[in-house]
Structure 1
Amino acid sequence: MASYAHPESTSLGSTLAPAPLIRAHMHIMSISFRRQFPVEIQERIIDQLRLRDDVRSLRACSLTCHAWHVRSRFHLLRDIRIHCPEQFKDICSYFHTHESLRPLVQSLVIDTIRQSPPDPTSAKSSTLPASDFVSTQLFSQLPNLHRCELRDSILDRSYVHSATFHSSILIYLMTHSSIETLCLSHVRFSSPTSFVGLISALQMLRRLVCNGIDIGRTTEGSAQIVKFGLTSLGYKKHGTKLRSLEIRGMPPSEYSQLILLIPGGRVEKLVMDVWPSSAPNKPSSRSLENTRAALACVKSLELHVYHDLDTFAVFPSYAAHWRQWVLMVLDNGVSFMQAGILQDITFVFHGSPYHLQHLLQDPVNTTLLTSLQQTILSLSPRTVAFTSATTPVGWMSIQSSIRQAFPVLFKQELAKIVPPRPAGRVSVHRGGEETL
């Protein structure tokens, strides 16, 4: 019986040197060692490529062999992106002829940042906003869509049309949408009505991220009028199921009006940025009361504090009061919460340790730090955590500064210091730049 071994295999016969008599009466079979990972390991490797958002490698894997094709294609279709009208047409055409693949899509990113820059010499030249791709033609082919992200460019908004949504797509989303997470990055809405109409149409919405969006100026009274008008049109029947709200890259002065515009929902987790764009004013009693009512269910508050002084390059006149403004905005943000409801507060510091230590140790800020500490204590939280977005040099000395700035919180064992964590993926607009 002949033995056939792989050219790269290792044979026991090549490692043993038996006597001629044994070789004559005994057959030693060659054993092949296949250089192949188990299927489970191969799939885990492909899954890691998806977590790293490595689209090129996933495409290469899908073309390597039949065993890798299914898993790779699953990840490629699970998260799709649209950058231009040509891609929009190709995707709609593809799913029109491949109906069985439609349920695989769970996440959609419409990113117009990579569009060709508009021609400043042409009056008709402009960049299409992400909202132009939100249509029934596309969303009707994505029955299992759970996450949607709209990204517009922040370089020159004068060339970007305002976001508007046709009533047909709003009605479709209200009756068929399964979107649970909506991320809006630098989207410029034509009016508060457009913003409220979109949010109201997403009945299954649980998480909303607003990063540097522009909803136009509105007052407390006009916010109520907008919501009442949409209710009469039938856009709001049961309200949203919103549980998590993130407000990033926006002036704190606009937080209240944005929160008051969101219809329905019971927000339990709130994430906000703290970087004063101007001298903060103490909110009026009416504004404070309305905002507290809208955030009456918040149990977890996360505040991202941008304490660096690099903003002086854009606003030199802020240098003398920047640190005081940061603490005042922090105090205002915490005061929006309901006592007895809020359980956890997290302060995430962004910037150099040098400026953070000055913020916490400057004698001028002692009164403001004491006021902030008393505001926190009045809410009776369960825990108060302090951390950093990056791992700064001299983290041990920063911990000491935090303990000295909030002595009562640590004495009552409410506060804790958490090791630095990596910065989030949400981009924050500061000084005309976009930081991930």
Structure 2
Amino acid sequence: MSTLPYLPYIPLEVAENIIDQLGEDVRSLRSCALTCRGWNRPARYHLVASILVQSREDLYSIYDYFASNPRMASFVRSLSMSPVSGDKKPGCLLEVIPVDLLKLLPGLRRYCIVGLRFYYSDRIALHATTFIHIKTYLHVEELYLQALRFRTGAELARVLIALPRLQRLEYRSVNVDITTADTSRFRDKCNMLSEVTVCT
């Protein structure tokens, strides 16, 4: 009669530290989630802490998942909108705030909008209701913008002002077509903003 080999017991605290070190290694986190019941919860926490939306289909499936798993929705800390290169209308993800999804994510702290480099010719066109939705539903402390093109500096400033809790801003390869527009009226509007990182 064969017996199972002895497997050493790993204390849960040690396992949690190992899982914490895996960071954003999704494949390893999935394996940890399937290892045992004790490892499942901390691994799942890391798996949903940072969400990437690359298509409208992603948006719908992520919404459906969190609508049926509200406890998991509370673990989400970062949401990134980043259309894939094959998307025919990347602006749909970049110009619209996913209000229904944001309502499900009370712990969201970071919001990322990442455009496609070869779509620089298409500038972002934010509707007035988008600014209202940003102010109403997007209560983040960090904003990350990359590979985007705004018509004026004032339009970019309106995005920042619509985020009253914004403390940290990072942007890379963000272009503004008209930089001569008067933006003095926006001065001292982002009172909590304390850190800005700019990469061209």
Shorter-chain TM band: 0.7 to 0.9
Residue in structure 2 matching 1:244, options 172, 175, 195: 195
Count of aligned residue pairs for this structure pair: 198
| Aligned-partner Cα distance in 2 for 1:167–1:137 | 18
- The one-letter code sitting in structure 2 at the alignment partner of 1:46 is I
Aligned partners of 1:208 and 1:245 also within 8 Å: yes
The runs of 5 or more residues in structure 1 that have no matched partner are 1-5, 10-33, 118-124, 229-235, 250-436
SS at match of 1:35: coil
SS at match of 2:46: helix
Change (3 A) 1:156 1:164: closer
Change (3 A) 1:166 1:141: farther
SS at match of 1:76: helix
Moved over 6 A (4+): none
Q: Do residues 150 (structure 1) and 113 (structure 2) align?
A: yes
**Equivalent pairs: percent with the same residue?**
26
Per-residue deviation at 1:7? 4.9
- The one-letter code sitting in structure 2 at the alignment partner of 1:192 is G
| Aligned-partner Cα distance in 2 for 1:92–1:61 | 24
Residue in 1 that maps onto 2:5: 8
Q: Do residues 83 (structure 1) and 54 (structure 2) align?
A: yes
Per-residue deviation at 1:178? 2.8
Deviations along 1:11-70, one digit per CA (max 9) or x if unpaired, are: xxxxxxxxxxxxxxxxxxxxxxx51211111111111112xx211211222223222111
Higher relative contact order, chain-length normalized (CA < 8 Å, sep 6+): 2
Larger radius of gyration: 1
Residue in structure 2 matching 1:103, options 48, 70, 74: 74
Change (3 A) 1:211 1:97: same
Per-residue deviation at 1:71? 0.8
Residue in 2 that maps onto 1:303: none
Aligned partners of 1:130 and 1:152 also within 8 Å: no
The runs of 5 or more residues in structure 2 that have no matched partner are none
SS at match of 1:134: coil
Q: Do residues 41 (structure 1) and 14 (structure 2) align?
A: yes
Aligned partners of 1:95 and 1:102 also within 8 Å: yes
Change (3 A) 1:173 1:245: same
Aligned partners of 2:146 and 2:174 also within 8 Å: yes
Change (3 A) 1:166 1:217: closer
Residue in structure 1 matching 2:182, options 202, 218, 222: 222
| Aligned-partner Cα distance in 1 for 2:73–2:4 | 44
| Aligned-partner Cα distance in 2 for 1:246–1:7 | 55
Deviations along 1:156-195, one digit per CA (max 9) or x if unpaired, are: 433xx42233434433432454311111111112433331
Per-residue deviation at 1:134? 2.2
Per-residue deviation at 1:243? 0.3
TM-score (norm 1): 0.42
Instruction: Report the RMSD for the aligned CA atoms in angstroms.
Output: 2.5
Residue in structure 2 matching 1:71, options 42, 45, 52: 42
- The one-letter code sitting in structure 2 at the alignment partner of 1:109 is S
Change (3 A) 1:130 1:214: farther
Higher strand share: 2
Aligned partners of 1:146 and 1:178 also within 8 Å: yes
Deviations along 1:69-105, one digit per CA (max 9) or x if unpaired, are: 1111111111111111110111112222222222211
SS at match of 1:187: strand
TM-score (norm 2): 0.86
- The one-letter code sitting in structure 1 at the alignment partner of 2:153 is P
Q: Do residues 170 (structure 1) and 167 (structure 2) align?
A: no
Aligned partners of 2:96 and 2:130 also within 8 Å: no
Aligned partners of 1:130 and 1:163 also within 8 Å: no
Alignment of 1:226-375 (within 5 A): 227=186, 239-249=190-200
